[in-house]
Amino acid sequence: MEFYSDEEILKGLSSKDPVCIRHLYREYFPVTKSIVERNSGNYEDAEDVFQDGLIVLYQKVRDGKMLLNCSLKTYFYSICWKLWMQRLDRKWRLLYQDRFVHEPVEDYEAKEGDPDEYKLERTRLYHLHFLSLPEDCQKVLKLFICKTSLKNIAMIMGFRDESYAKTRKYLCKNMLRKRILKDPRCKFLF
Amino acid sequence: MSNREKMPEWITRYNDNDLAGDELHLFLEMLEKNPSLKVEVGLDKELNEALADDDIIEFRRKIIASGNPKIRQSQLPRKLMLVAATLILMLIFELLLNHLCSRTESKGKESSEVSRICPKNGSGNDKQRNGLKVSQSLKPDGGRLLISSVKVPVNRIKLASNLIPDPQLEGLVGSNVRSFYFKLLSPSGVTHFSMKDTIRLSWEPDLEKPIKLIVTDNHGICVFETEKEMTNRIFFRASQFHSGLFYFKIIGNDDLLYLGKFYIE
């Protein structure tokens, strides 16, 4: 098995290197899994937390906010721990809000600077459904979000005119909205 | 197009600041009254924000692509373990079955000797049941013969070995031995009876000598015995046996007159 130093991992992460991501999955996922499964979660929860943890790590590396004063594994562990504790806290609140006064999970209270797990969860859901759309729909939506003009979109996508490009945009956005709202996870998010 | 049908378009246009005039006025009125519309507007806004970060979407795509084989890998050993566990269970079951079969066969061998003495001792141990004498089989127990009920042990009932023919008796089935005059009328041939049936054996001619009927199972264990005088038929109920293959011997003056077989299902 290949060994990567923390610096190499961070470098690979910033360039979205698939080898680095696979290495992280192999080496770091068991840690996340143990946190989640030891604290009322299941395998799927662990996968979600791991993905969100990687996104947080990537954002920190990309934005230059990474201050590493311990091993990367420990740092990643703390991100996943915080994410899972916040998520558990929110789930408990959702489940028992009317039954008894909420007590924070294992004395965990979110602090300033902690990752916003609620936003991360919603974003993950949006991304997953976006990536499940047909390729041309993804492309049209990306172009619209990047404020590309209708004329250019029609030209890039090979549509007959601007009005058809507009219709396609609405259709694709609507398909995405419907898929998200149909997702059973969505009811805990809005 | 109704306002309801226009809604997805209006939501997008509202978030893009593209809605104006009467349309904007109407939309704001509806937004105030309808909380679910508020949720949808919020969702659309968040979607725009989430999809704007192309870099993160690309990273997410790579995580999913890298993660899936890992997940498959982690699930593969589980599947392999399940298959292995199934195979082990099947092996254990087969060993258990073989063990039970061999036990039954060895019991059968022990009991075949018993069945030979069964008719002789049967008269002393007979019980009267439905007008017929029902024998009691004998079991060896530490060198001492114990008298037990005619009922066949439960563990034998469930075994397919109850249907395995006895090679020694099979050759004699249907043949008249030392009795060319004897003709079995019923059952004709090898018959399958159900538990509800009454088994009727009839023959001709009427025999003046006492007739002994011995029914053994396919392992040679005597399960039924009766003796009648001056008769040409014997009835007995199938329900007193377990399902399987049985041989019946009609004996007159210690001579085997006829050997037949039947199945009980």
Which run of H or E residues covers position B143? Answer: none
Are residues A9 and A102 both part of a single domain? yes
What is the b/e burial string over B42-56, where b = at least 16 CB atoms within 10 angstroms of the residue's CB?
ebbebbbebbeeeeb
- Paired residues of B214 in beta bridges: B225, B249
Domain count, chain A: 2
ipTM over 0.95 threshold:
no
Whole domain around residue B48: which residue ranges?
Answer: 3-52
Q: Please answer whether residues B216 and B263 qualify as being in contact, where contact means their C-beta atoms are separated by less than 8 angstroms.
A: no
If we measure between CA atoms, which residue out of B199, B113, B248, B74 comes closest to residue A22? B74
Average pLDDT (B142-148) is: 40
Give the closest residue to A20 by CA, choosing from A32, A31, A8.
A8
Q: Which residues of B touch A145 (CB under 8 A)?
A: 48, 51-52
When pLDDT is cut at 50, 70 and 90, the band that residue B4 belongs to is: low
Cα gap A174→A154, rounded to integer Å? 19
Token pair 């408990």 is found at A92
| Span A13-30, average pLDDT | 89
**B245-B251-B254 Cα angle (round to 5):** 135
Whole-angstrom distance, CA of residue B239 vs CA of residue B130: 13
Quick one: pLDDT band at residue B1, thresholds 50, 70, 90?
A: low
Residue that has been written with the tokens 């079951």 in this structure = B93
Asked if residue A127 belongs to a domain, the reply is no
pLDDT of residue A46: 92
**Domain co-membership, A43 together with A89:** yes
Q: Report the mean per-residue pLDDT for chain A.
A: 84
3-state secondary structure of B146: strand
Q: Point out the domain boundary residue: A115, A145, A161.
A: A115
Q: A179 and A146, same structural domain?
A: yes
Strands B191-193 and B255-264: parallel
* Residue B210 CB neighbours (<10 A): 13
pLDDT on residue A58: 92
Asked if residue B91 is part of any domain, the answer here is no
- Which of A55, A62, A130 is closest, CB to CB, to B51? A130
User: Which of A127, A131, A180 is opposite residue B43, by nearest beta carbon?
Assistant: A180
CATH number of the domain residue B198 falls in: 2.60.40.1220
| B45 and B165 share one domain | no
Distance of CA A49 to the CA centre of its chain: 8
Which amino acid is located at B256 in the chain? L
In this structure, the answer to whether residues A99 and A19 fall within a common structural domain is: yes
Range of the domain at A45: 1-115
Query: What single-letter amino acid sits at A147?
Result: K
* pTM (2 d.p.): 0.53
Q: Do A141 and B39 touch (CB under 8 A)?
A: no
Residue contact B40–A123, C-beta within 8 A? no
B43 contacts on A by Cβ (under 8 Å): 177, 180-181, 190
Structural contact between residues B217 and B246, judged by C-beta atoms closer than 8 angstroms: yes
Is residue A179 situated within a structural domain?
yes
Mean pLDDT, residues A111-128 taken together? 83
